[in-house]
Amino acid sequence: MTAFIPYAPLNTLKPFGPDIWTVDGPEIRMDYGPSSIPFPTRMTVVRLAGGGLWLHSPVAPEETLLAAIDRLGRVAWLVAPNSLHYWYVADWQRRYPAARTLAVPGLADKAKRAFRIDAVVGEGATPLPEGLEAVLVPGTAVSEAVFFHRASRTVILTDLIENFEPQRVRGRFYRWLVRLSGAAHPNGKAPIDLRLTFWPRRRRVREAVATILGWDCERVVMAHGLPYAADGAAELRRAFDWAV
């Protein structure tokens, strides 16, 4: 039995705005000290101006999903958006060897599974596709690249906002943990342990967050929990109050 009731159907492209889709994947377990914690997964897919696809935080590949992706367009980019969300990139690279891979700094050294990295966010002139903007939020244990898709006015994150709905969490212990961390809907944000890893670099974090809050945002999608389909700018201001 999983700890989180999934956002069914899984492995299915779900429209989230103009030329942007979400895909809810299977639950995984993330190492946390001597144990592990269950997490739902989500990928975001953007169709670029030239028709290519940009895949953010790829979930475990599954044949029905791969077929749907192939019908949608050509996979041009794979994105490992933070120091934790990279595991399945290697699998997608095997399926789409011509796709370029974008990652955060230092991931080549930290990753526990090898994969090819073609470009790094925040190092020189990052080659972003037309219609996307990015900023790096630098942490100590974790750094995260945050993206803005202008056509849909969507900010795309992984862990800098988590928004778990308590009613979808099975088990009293996990519900308590979600609320304690500060990542519970409707007031989701980065969990407290993650926020603390950004404290030593707070000046640079504050500058990055200012850039994010300056985007003309209507929607927010994250890897874990309920996305915000409206009032995105207000949700960002609330969720990032710890960093401004």
CATH of the domain at 18: 3.60.15.10
Tens of pLDDT, residue by residue over 145-198, are: 999 999 999 999 999 999 999 999 998 998 999 999 999 999 999 999 999 999
Residue 6 falls within a domain, yes or no? no
Among residues 28, 51, 23, the alpha carbon closest in space to that of 38 is found at 28
Tens of pLDDT, residue by residue over 24-71, are: 999 987 765 565 678 899 999 999 999 999 999 999 999 999 999 999
- The dihedral through the CA atoms of 107, 213, 201, 160 has a sign that is negative
Question: What range defines the domain where residue 33 resides?
Answer: 14-239
Phi/psi zone of residue 68: left (φ > 0), alpha (ψ -120 to 50 degrees), beta? alpha
Residue 244 falls within a domain, yes or no? no
Can you tell me the distance from the alpha carbon of 225 to that of 188, in angstroms, rounded to the nearest whole number? 8
DSSP string spanning 169-235?
B-SHHHHHHHHHHT-BTTS-BS-HHHHHHHGGGHHHHHHHHHHHHTS--SEEE-SSB--BSS-HHHH
Q: How many domains does the chain have?
A: 1
Residue 231 falls within a domain, yes or no? yes
Instruction: Kindly report whether the global pTM for this prediction surpasses the value 0.85.
Output: yes
Can you tell me the distance from the alpha carbon of 121 to that of 17, in angstroms, rounded to the nearest whole number? 24
